[in-house]
Amino acid sequence: MAVRYRTVQQRPTAYRSSARAWLLYLYSLPFLFAALSHLLAGNTIRFGLTLLVFLAVMLAAAFISRGLKNRREYLQQKFANQAPFPLIFLGSLVLAAAIFVAAWLVAGYGLFSALGFAVAALVGTWLWYGLDPVRARGMPDAEPAIQEVLAESERRILAIEKATREVSQPELKQRLTRITRKAREVLALLAEDPQRISQSRRFLHTYLESTDNIVRKYASTHKKITDQALEANFREVLATIEDTFNQQYEKLLSSDLFDLDVDMEVLNTLMKKQGLG
């Protein structure tokens, strides 16, 4: 029986922050200035403690920045067999510990007051930046192998979309957009009927991987040189890929088996001939 796939919209709890924790990077600067002041005054203990706090705040900012990026990429996926490592949570703990040390050992506040500052920093970080995703997305009842195929296929599609942004030629960008859109439609059909994934495993792996490699190679090359022949070759390869994606989608709709051998041979020959493989 086909497993009904339903897209669940998940959004981070806060959008006021940017993709990186710039506020925390700025927040760390006063600790750096204070550490330099203690060094000039000859207070080595306070210098060491304040420098430690500065480095801890910087580390927290780095963790949270990476966590925000992981969360953004995760929320773009419909099929994700595991949630990202909770770097935002880890960064908030590091920040809370840094604030505790700064309040208690550097500023001279009492123990309970320092704990209060640490808790306030912890809760404030969660309210401003949100928390890490904690649940996998997609098809929790499906076999792990099926989940991995869908998740890996979507990662390939996201990589193609990322490389597409580096392509400047409008016609090629539009064709790549159509390819990734059709690839997502194929994944949606397979999610409706996971039993057919085994029939499309080679298509998903080989074609998406080949398309990813081709687009990234073209995107990195066309920035450095202007080559009309390269653009023409790339256009020809993309046309072949788009036709194959459309055929795969139609075959899935009609419940027919899809014979990929001939199409794979055509693609491999074309890639070698055009120097894009």
Closest CA to 15 of 134, 130, 135: 130
Q: Would you place residue 4 in the very low, low, confident or very high pLDDT band (cuts 50, 70, 90)?
A: very low
Q: How far apart are CA 224 and CA 177, in angstroms?
A: 23
Q: Residue 19 — pLDDT band, cuts 50, 70, 90?
A: low
Choice between 114 and 162, residue whose per-residue pLDDT is larger: 114
Instruction: Report the predicted TM-score, pTM, of the whole model to 2 decimal places.
Output: 0.64
Give the C-alpha separation, 211 to 186, whole Å.
15
The winner for highest mean pLDDT among 59-68, 126-135, 213-222, 265-274 is: 59-68
Q: For the residues 220-245, what does the mean pLDDT come to? A: 76
Contact 132, 88 (CB under 8 A): yes
pLDDT > 70: percent of the chain: 77
Residue 61: name the closest of 105, 27, 111, 30 by CA.
27
Bridge partners (DSSP) of residue 148 are: none
Return mean pLDDT, the chain. Answer: 79
pLDDT at 76 over 70: yes
143-170 pLDDT, tens digit per residue, is: 777 777 788 888 888 888 888 888 878 8
- Residue indicated by tokens 């990589």: 159
Structure tokens at 245: 């994606």
The residue extents of the domains of the chain are 22-129, 144-274
Q: Cα–Cα distance between 187 and 204 in angstroms, integer?
A: 9
User: Per mean pLDDT, which of 50-59, 72-81, 128-137, 193-202 is the most reliable?
Assistant: 50-59
The number of beta carbons lying within 10 Å of the beta carbon of residue 41 is 10
Q: Which distant-in-sequence residues (6+ apart) come within 8 Å of 107 by Cβ?
A: none
Instruction: Give the length of the chain.
Output: 277
Structure confidence by residue, pLDDT tens digits, 178-195: 988 888 888 888 887 777
